[in-house]
Amino acid sequence: MKIIHVIDTLGFGGAESMLINTIEKSPGIIHYKVFILGKNTPRAEYLSNLGVSVERVTWFNFFFKIYREKPDLLMGWLFKSTLICALAKQIFGHRIKIVWNIRYSSFPNSDVKSRLIVQILKIFSSTVEAIVYNSFVGRRHHESLGYKNKNSIVIGNGFDIEKYQPQPHLKQEFLMNKELEKNSFIFGMVARYDKLKNQKNFILAALEFLDNIKETKGPIYFVFAGKEMNWQNQELIKILDGHPKSYRFLFLDAQNRTQFLYPCFDINCLYSLTEGFPNVIGESMCCGIPSIASDVGDVKRLMENSGWLVSLDSKSELITAFTKAYYANTSDLRELGEQARKNICENYSIEKITNDYIHLFEMIIGK
């Protein structure tokens, strides 16, 4: 099988991680190439080192390259890539098989161009061989907009349970490196700075929580990792500047090796306004870390009973969840973490998810 993946960029987002993980875990009988519409990145080089051909393409040479390569199947990820694959279907017709991989659950605050692409894709949705959604919420939302395809399927994200696993010793190393008290309680968040990730409101809730909590179990810290999550971010400085508890917030900026960061948390947090199937929840669950998360996308389905769900953008529920997590017994937190890892190992290992993709490819190609 010769499969070409087309993606907007190869940054450090969830879609990019899923693409790379799927390629890594696939058997040798599948020959992959990756076309990138954006600029090359270190992750593109990483794929090249695995022996995968990675090419940067433009809207002008893409169709010629597809004609030259004659792949068995073309899969488009993210907005621009699904659009260009839809156009390829119109040009090449039955000579090329197309699968879309849609990673969005909804489109709040999206720009005019993105909304236009959504409408164009709706028109072409019945012409491609299959549409993969990474969440049930995303599938329902797109179908409510008019997306129609007889081979629509939900394939969740998969997680490397060997790479992401419990490493309890890392927390004490982290506390020592940051010169924090040994009995510190860490709420962590891994997400790039973005309005949809809702960090500003999360921090405002955290400040109110810190102002009112009795820290009987040890001092509380909030640790953030992600692009633009640093002290150069003026919007963050405006919130925290002059507050007596501002030193309780640590900003680590983007971190590439998050498998060594999640185990440093007592609780992983997600307060997004929208998500499909968030990798950061699954990865932390692999590491045996329970989560507090907003009830968006397929978060509830993913977490099951291994953490605290809060209503969308509800500050009061978030503060209540902070309080419950902080005062929870150590044994109860450990049990939640064990349940979290079990959920991932049984339902969302990268091996299982990769097999789901391979079965889809075989069905579409007819092998």
Separation of alpha carbons 331 and 317, rounded Å: 23
Contacts of 358 (CB under 8 A, 6+ apart): 26, 27, 30
Amino acid residing at 345: C
Tens digits of per-residue pLDDT, 22-76? 898 887 777 889 999 987 778 888 888 888 899 999 999 999 999 999 999 999 9
pLDDT at residue 107, rounded to an integer: 66
Joined tokens for residue 303: 């977490």
Taken in order of first residue, the domains within the chain and their CATH numbers are 2-158+349-365 (3.40.50.2000), 169-347 (3.40.50.2000)
DSSP letter assigned to residue 230:
S
| Model confidence band, residue 89 (pLDDT cutoffs 50, 70, 90) | very high
For residues 302 and 348, is the Cβ–Cβ distance under 8 A?
Answer: yes
Q: What is the DSSP string of 49-115?
A: HTT-EEEE--TTTHHHHHHHH--SEEEEEHHHHHHHHHHHHHHHGGGS-EEEEE--S--TT--HHHH
Separation of alpha carbons 131 and 104, rounded Å: 13
SS (H, E, C) 102-130: ECCCCCCCCCHHHHHHHHHHHHHCCCCCE
Separation of alpha carbons 49 and 28, rounded Å: 15
For residues 252 and 223, is the Cβ–Cβ distance under 8 A?
Answer: yes
Tens digits of per-residue pLDDT, 134-187? 999 999 999 999 999 999 999 999 999 999 999 999 999 999 999 999 999 999
